[in-house]
Structure 1
Amino acid sequence: MLAHRGTGRGSYIFGRSVHNTHIEHLWFDVTHDFGQKWKDFFLDLEVHYGLNPMNRHHLWLIHYLWLPSINQDTQDWMGMWNSHQMTLPRSSPCTPREMFRSSMIADGPCGIAELMARPIDDDVDDLNAFRIDWEVADNPTYMSHILEQNPEEWDEENLFSSAPPKPTHVPVEPPECPFNTESLKILSSTLADRVDLSDCRMEMRRVVWEEAISLCDYLLRTQNVGSEDVQF
């Protein structure tokens, strides 16, 4: 957007969540409805069950055991949210899915028209306060969530700064599997025999973790017989 429309014009609304309270409201719902349970679960594993977030093998095991479940929770929540009724000003209640379909019919595919349109003169008097939803910004519940989830982005000296102090970039490289094909097959079959991997209760998932990390440690030592200081 900056390359297309130019800098210093408010064409792109940077990091501060008070400038995009609709998406912040969405993230609040995501956290409340299913994200928090996973965060609490992993913190519990770290405090009481030996999870080391700096151990690449442990990160791989988390992905192996629960990434499909987290993705399924996300898909289930997305389906629920896209189908829930929203009350909008000057409009009858409708779902996000209905709004998307209506917009596609009325406005055409999103983004194409703007790419072909002439630039719009959208200069504003105060970019720092541009499009802030003051009603939501004054809501202590949502603002508390913003401060908790985005402490590194909050500028205490200028609460309404429209640009971040530095570009946000979080590189995420998937952890490599520490096992060969044979060991991975043993891990999969043995876990399936010992625990119920389909049980969605967090209490059972703690049992799965304890069984899995013990088995992984044994398999890694067996796979690397003769090597010193091998542990999962």
Structure 2
Amino acid sequence: MEARYGLQHGAYIWGRSVHNIHIERLWCDVTRGFGRKWSNFFMSLEVSAGLRPDLDAHVWLLHHLFIAAINQDASNWAKAWNEHKIRFDNDRTRSPRDLFFFGMIDNGLRGFDVDQEEEEFVEDFDAYGVDWEELHNADIMAHHMEHNADEQLDPDAIENPFSNDGPHRLSHVEVQEPLCPFSIEHVTQLDAHLALNPHSISRNMNSRRSVWIDALDFCRGLYD
């Protein structure tokens, strides 16, 4: 972004996370919408259903069983959010989808291909992007502190409070795809076995727990 638009353009906001309070609000809504359900589910599997998150084979099995369901939950949540009504000061209600569509009609297409000369340059980086009302929302800030506690304790993550010249290091999360421990024939056998499980198409989390236990037992049997 900075290579394209320049260092003083404000394409990337350095500094404290309060500058990105909008995305924190979104993550808070995502967690409430469906994220916490899956987090609690995986923790319950670890506590009482044999899940070993340190084993690549177990992580692969989680992906194989539940990644499609998680993606479906995310798509359903995004669709509901895009269609939900927002009330404005003039008592009109509009959905985010309406605002995006009619905004392009009124203001033209917006994106990374817009000429740099048409973009607004930011003068005050310290105040840019801060939603002061949301910044004082106790629920949102509690969510931020809960999911960013490690950064608060990491001395390397602390920036110079007298400077806004960028962080000393960027956050990096490397997600490696778990390797399948089975041959194609074994995966086919697993899928055929799961198709016989009456809980395999259920969206109930207790039913999904039953599917995990059944699948884990079947996978152990393949090796035994």
- TM class by shorter chain equals 0.7 to 0.9
Structure 2 residue corresponding to 1:169, chosen from 169, 172, 186? 172
- What is the identity percentage for the equivalent residue pairs of Structure 1 and Structure 2? 39
* CA contact 1:153–1:164 (8 Å) conserved in 2: no
Residue 122 of structure 1 aligns with which residue?
A: 122
Residue 152 of structure 1 aligns with which residue?
A: 150
Bigger CA drift: 81-90 or 139-148? 81-90
Q: Aligned with 1:20: secondary structure?
A: helix
Q: Give matches, 1:205-220, under 5 Å.
A: 205-220=208-223
1:203 aligned partner, one-letter code: N
User: Using the alignment, how far apart are the partners of 2:161 and 2:72 within structure 1?
Assistant: 37
Q: Aligned with 2:182: secondary structure?
A: coil
Q: CA deviation at 1:191?
A: 1.9
Residue 190 of structure 2 aligns with which residue?
A: 187
2:134 aligned partner, one-letter code: V
Residue 43 of structure 2 aligns with which residue?
A: 43
Residue 5 of structure 2 aligns with which residue?
A: 5
* CA contact 2:122–2:128 (8 Å) conserved in 1: no
Q: Aligned with 2:50: secondary structure?
A: coil
Residue 107 of structure 1 aligns with which residue?
A: 107
User: Using the alignment, how far apart are the partners of 2:180 and 2:167 within structure 1?
Assistant: 36
- Cα deviation, 1:3-53, whole Å, max 9, x if unaligned, reads 133335644224743212222211111100111000000011111112111
Cα RMSD for the two superposed structures: 2.6
Asked if 1:178 corresponds to 2:176, the answer is no
Residue 71 of structure 1 aligns with which residue?
A: 71
Structure 1 residue corresponding to 2:133, chosen from 121, 129, 135? 135
- Cα deviation, 1:102-146, whole Å, max 9, x if unaligned, reads 12212222225633525644322xx33433112211121110011
Q: 1:104 to 1:8 in 2, by over 3 A?
A: closer
User: Using the alignment, how far apart are the partners of 1:22 and 1:87 within structure 2?
Assistant: 18
Residue 19 of structure 2 aligns with which residue?
A: 19
* CA contact 1:136–1:142 (8 Å) conserved in 2: yes
1:144 aligned partner, one-letter code: A
- Cα deviation, 1:171-228, whole Å, max 9, x if unaligned, reads 222212111122111111112223420111111111111111111111134xxxxxxx
Length, aligned pairs only: 219
Q: CA deviation at 1:153?
A: 3.8
Q: CA deviation at 1:87?
A: 2.3
Gaps of 5+ in 1: 222-232
Q: Please, what TM-score do these two structures have when normalized by structure 1?
A: 0.83
2:212 aligned partner, one-letter code: W
Gaps of 5+ in 2: none
Q: 1:9 to 1:185 in 2, by over 3 A?
A: closer
* CA contact 2:199–2:210 (8 Å) conserved in 1: no
Q: 1:182 to 1:136 in 2, by over 3 A?
A: same
